[in-house]
Each structure stands twice: as structure tokens, then as C-alpha cells.
Structure 1
Amino acid sequence: MRRHDCALLLVDLQEAFFANRVLAAARPRLLAAVHRLAEGARRAGVPIFLISTEHSRDRSTWTLSMLDDDQGFLFHGDAGTATVAELDTTGMTRLEKTRDSAWLGTDLPLRLRNLGVDRVMIAGVSAHACIAQTARDAYAHNLRATIVVDAVADEREDHMHMILDLLVGDRQADLAEVDEVLDRWREGDPLRG
């Protein structure tokens, strides 16, 4: 395995998302799993991208639903946009997005191409939205995507399981658990599929 055959994408691990009751309950489990993934990635030399959502107050980055509701969210500089306190961000590359997908309107494709990445491992929140769309768009960019199922959470668990099944069924992503990913990184196998 070349050093950068894969990259770890940590999506929307921001305080505002964990204000949701279901995500708040999942927080300790999720962040413990993410911590293990990040430590394993550092040991294996796998690049880590910390991807967050931030919007401008001037409405220029708002989604259609935000515009329809005339209510913005995750404004640059607000406390809720901060990365969760438990996460050690040492060595992570930060990337801001304004849509569900980490690919839309960002330089993620260029960064991954420059690193020679051909597979992304995805963890974070929320599985039915930002995780799923990031995986779909990885597929659209001809990169393989693995969703680390015990390192994702969702406020709508029924949607999470349904969308993960669809992604696998459509061959747009595969699923793995943290232990499997860490074992493969130790063995130098990027989870080819």
C-alpha cells in the first residue's frame, strides 16, 4: 500500500449537531470510535480530513430549506460550529463545506488526487444525509468509499440503516467496522473492494 492510498474523512463532528437528543446519547460511543480511527490513521500515515459545515450570515451559502424557512444555521464563528471538545485534531486537515456532500464546492477532489487517494473511509454524522451524500459523491469521483458503521451516528436510525443498505446495494459504498479498518491499516491493506 502506498502511504496515501486511502484517507479518513471525519464529517460534521461539531457541537451543534450533538444538541440533538439522539446524537447526544450516541456521542460517547461515537467519539470513542472516532478517536480509535484517528489514532490508527495517524500510526498508518493515513491523511485525516476534518470536514465541518459553516454558513455565512449573508445567506449566500444557505441551502434551499434554510432560505425557505428564513433561518440560517452553523454560522461562521458561532460556538456550535466548533469541533467537539473530545476530538484531538492534531495533524488533521480542516475543510469547510456548505452542503451535505464534502465534495460540493470544496477542493477535496484536488487534495485527494494530489495525495494519490483512491478510497475514503467516512465517519461522523449524520449517516442518512452528509455521510451518505459524501459517499455517493466519492463514487461519482471514481473513488471507493467505506462507511465505518460503528463510527457514524444519526438522529434518525431507521433512515440510517435504510440508506446504508441502499448504498451497499447500489455498490456506491461498502461498510466496515473500526476494528476491521484498523487491522487492514496495520496490515497495509486499504480495504480494496
Structure 2
Amino acid sequence: MTHTRDALVLVDLQNAFFDEEGLAERQTEIVDAANRLIDAAHAAGLPIYMITTEHSRDESTWTLNMLEAGTGFLFQGDEGTQIVPGLKTTDTTKVEKTRDSAFFGTDLNMRFVNKRIGRIILAGVSTHGCVAQTTRDAFAHNIRATIVTDAVADTRDDYHRTQINQLEADRQATLATVDEIIARWQAEASRS
């Protein structure tokens, strides 16, 4: 089966992530960019995946740093795990994860295979963590990744720049802006 389609993948656009300095002031900008991508993906008939991080209170899903600190976070049902206000979620598929990569311990790759996804378009937070690890794991699954540079953010701009530059240099991702992605999807739709 040939992988031919794009999918929009929105990573960790949840309240708790935007409580952090460096991201709080970018929330409106990132939500607006994500909504433009969501509208364009809907218009192009492309699948949209809302990736969220949630943990169980019983420590069974905690990461090493959470276990070592004796403190968990992003518990199911907490306000922090909720999608940020204003983000369009209609007709999106939610996938919950417990690690940085959206592929680790989830059925995301199976979903992509079933939907013939050959490239993911990534938006969300944080660039150095969940966005970067999801990008690397997409590459490991032979799925191309494009990071939307004006729809991803990090707590520190130097983390952000270093990660996207490294992923591009390693040829694990291409970079594009929201406008470039929308233009590409519109051009592809007009050809079909």
C-alpha cells in the first residue's frame, strides 16, 4: 500500500503546557496558527490528529523524572489536560500519549498506515520535546514530517531554533510556514 496523504498532527495544545513562561505569551498566536491549519486540512479532506498527554494517578504511566520526584502531573480529567480555549476540535481524532513521542505506546502508526499517511504536518508544543521526538519517530516509521515553524513553540526560543535546525539538517524533517502548507494543500486539491 502506498502512503500518499498528509495528516495534520497537533501536539500537546493543552492548558498545562501554556502555563509555562515562554509559552504563555505565545498561546493566542499558536492557537490561531493551528486553527488556520485545521480549517485548511478540513477543506482539503485531510485527517487531523489531536495528540494529548495524560497520566494516571496510580503512577503506572509516570515517566522516570516523575517517579524520581514522587510527583505526577497531567492527570486525566484535570484542567491542565484540557485542550486550550479557542482551538477548533470538531472532526479531529484524539490520541492520548504518556511520553514525548506521539508514537510511543499508542496506535498512531497503525492509524497512519490505515489512512495511507505519507507525511505528517506538525504543530504544537514543545519543539525540543514532544514535537521533536514525534518527528524523529515518524522518520523511524518511514513517514515524512514537516514542522510548521510558525505553529510550534517552546519555553525558550534557543531550544526551538536548535531543534528545528537540527531536525532539518539531519533530514528528518522539512520546515514550512502556515501559509506555505495552506498553499500546498490548496494546490494539491485543485489538481485532483
TM-score normalised by structure 2 residue count = 0.95
On the 8 A contact 1:3/1:46 being kept in 2, the answer is no
2:2 paired with 1:5: no
RMSD between superposed Cα atoms in Å: 1.4
Letter in 2 for 1:50: M
Identity of aligned residues (%): 53
Cα distance in 1, alignment partners of residues 55 and 164 from structure 2: 27
**Counterpart residue number, 2:130:** 130
Cα distance in 2, alignment partners of residues 143 and 19 from structure 1: 31
Cα distance in 2, alignment partners of residues 26 and 3 from structure 1: 34
On the 8 A contact 2:3/2:117 being kept in 1, the answer is no
Cα distance in 2, alignment partners of residues 171 and 40 from structure 1: 26
Cα distance in 2, alignment partners of residues 152 and 64 from structure 1: 26
The C-alpha deviation readout for 1:68-92, integer Å capped at 9, x for no partner, is: 1111010001111000111110000
Letter in 2 for 1:122: L
- Offset, 1:22: 1.4
Letter in 2 for 1:103: F
**Counterpart residue number, 2:40:** 40
Cα distance in 2, alignment partners of residues 21 and 36 from structure 1: 24
Identify if the C-alpha distance between structure 1 residues 3 and 143 changes in structure 2 by more than 3 Å, giving closer, same or farther. Answer: closer
**Counterpart residue number, 2:148:** 148
Query: Size of the alignment, in residue pairs?
Result: 188
**Counterpart residue number, 1:64:** 64
**Counterpart residue number, 2:81:** 81
Cα distance in 2, alignment partners of residues 60 and 153 from structure 1: 29
Letter in 2 for 1:51: I
**Counterpart residue number, 2:102:** 102
Unpaired runs of 5+ residues, structure 1, are: none
TM-score normalised by structure 1 residue count = 0.95
On the 8 A contact 2:44/2:185 being kept in 1, the answer is yes
Which consecutive aligned stretches of 4+ in structure 1 deviate over 3 angstroms post-superposition? none
- Offset, 1:21: 2.3
Identify if the C-alpha distance between structure 1 residues 188 and 102 changes in structure 2 by more than 3 Å, giving closer, same or farther. Answer: same
- Offset, 1:4: 6.4
Cα distance in 2, alignment partners of residues 17 and 5 from structure 1: 29
Matched residue of 2:96: which SS?
Answer: strand
Cα distance in 2, alignment partners of residues 26 and 138 from structure 1: 26
- Offset, 1:187: 0.6
Cα distance in 2, alignment partners of residues 94 and 33 from structure 1: 19
On the 8 A contact 2:3/2:118 being kept in 1, the answer is no
Letter in 2 for 1:72: G
Matched residue of 2:23: which SS?
Answer: helix
Identify if the C-alpha distance between structure 1 residues 134 and 177 changes in structure 2 by more than 3 Å, giving closer, same or farther. Answer: same
Cα distance in 2, alignment partners of residues 28 and 13 from structure 1: 11
